[in-house]
A and B are shown apart, each in its own frame.
Chain A
């Protein structure tokens, strides 16, 4: 069996940043295992710009953002294997992987960082009536066809879901000469960034229909059209609002699911809202020495935040390996209060010597609301926000002196006061 100090599962932005930070903390014996042909993860097909504004202070395309980390991984001589699929990780940190060159690999690690990213919700997860005609695909699949494989998946497009990938693909297909007829969004608001709605839809006059969904697809071999309908406040189609729209392609941008098969197999506790692991402030799961970061932990809207989170996990793993972790551990669970869907981390060590930044998402759009942090019954901070939206990740900071003053029976609550 091979021996490594740190095995990183996934060579996207999270995996690379985590490995690099662990190296900064002195871990020499690191290996990154990546399923695709190259490092970089999903950034390789995200050729649009807008990445790196927070982390680098400049606007980069996805491949450029990835390239900066790939170069560092090469410079630092961090070992990696591409085309390598991790099949299993055990509680004892034995990692099993396969590839064409080595066959079956078994690695005993001191620590493991899970950075497998997420995948798109497929058609099967929606109940749309119709045949299995070709021309129905997720927006990310279409993005790979156009940006990596270099061909157009269709000419007349309907997009269901107004997440960022759907919006980006609306622009991409239009630039390449396709006709994007509409973007339908089930919810009364878009889950995409405002900038993308303006620059991907408004710029090209593509209509966005809110509270609208696709209820049926038509066509036998190739998609010929879809039926769209408005939905009521219970998200049920309203009879009489059905409309037939001719199209040869339906792209789905209906949500992302963290890819946690490995995590679940280990038996790690999961958060039912994020569909990722429950972690502490260092992004360590409840299986000692196994950390998680990036979209496998919770879906991020900006890669910049993935990088920052992965660096925390990298530092945590390094300290675990070097036996420098805080010995005196007393966890307090963070409660997602009124208006808050989830927080990451979900629990914090109240003996932590650092301030802890807690990331969270709200469940609906709020205007002129307050974000209130309560620790042990006392309001620690109450921050006014002009706007809070489900599509934008927010954060609050718990100062170390507040944490250290708590006992393990105290509660920490993050909530929205409308």
Chain B
């Protein structure tokens, strides 16, 4: 099977073709440098993304405060994480780096606040 993706390791944006045998990567083509090869293999085995959103915040200047995942989380768990984050309300004052949710969905990522309010 072949999978197609755009490399984001640099602004070049190479169009990669990944040849797969089941879950195993047979080859990566279309990349200009070896970072493209590594990017493609990670995207196939365990694609991760930084998650940024807001949580409800009571008693501050604004009704929500921005948060991020402390480390990237598996791409397929993003929507599930959003449900959990949207069920939480924090109380002002809040500070940058304050942890709202520990180890969300067992991903080892914490949801931390990124602004004061």
Contact = CB atoms under 8 A, between A and B. Distances in A.
Instruction: Note whether A and B form a binding pair.
Output: yes
Q: How large is the interface on B (under 10, 10 to 19, 20 to 34, 35 or more residues)?
A: 20 to 34
A150 B52 contact: no
Interface in A45-61: 47-49, 59, 61
A146 B96 CA distance: 19
Given A47-B114, A63-B115, A175-B78, A150 B8 contact: no
Interface string A142-154: 0000111110000
Contacts of B49: 199, 203
Interface bin, chain A: 20 to 34
Interface stretch (A116-124, A261-269, A376-384, A386-394): A386-394
A44 interface: yes
Given A149-B62, A387-B12, A44 B115 contact: yes
Nearest to B13: A194
B11 A392 contact: yes
B61 A199 contact: no
Interface string A383-408: 00011010010000000000000000
A37 interface: yes
Nearest to A66: B115
B17 interface: no
A392 B116 CA distance: 32
Interface in B3-62: 5-6, 8, 11-13, 32, 49-54, 56, 61-62
A5 interface: no
Contacts, number: 79
Interface of A: 37, 44, 47-49, 59, 61, 63-64, 67, 146-150, 172, 175-177, 193-195, 197-199, 202-203, 386-387, 389, 392
A176 B81 CA distance: 11
Given A44-B115, A194-B13, A49 B50 contact: yes
Contact of A64 (B53, B61, B86, B96): B96
B64 to A, nearest CB: 4
B63 interface: yes
Contacts of B75: 203
Contacts of A197: 6, 13
B72 to A, nearest CB: 9
7 contacts: A48-B52, A61-B114, A147-B66, A194-B6, A194-B8, A198-B5, A198-B8
Contacts of B63: 149-150
A67 B61 CA distance: 16
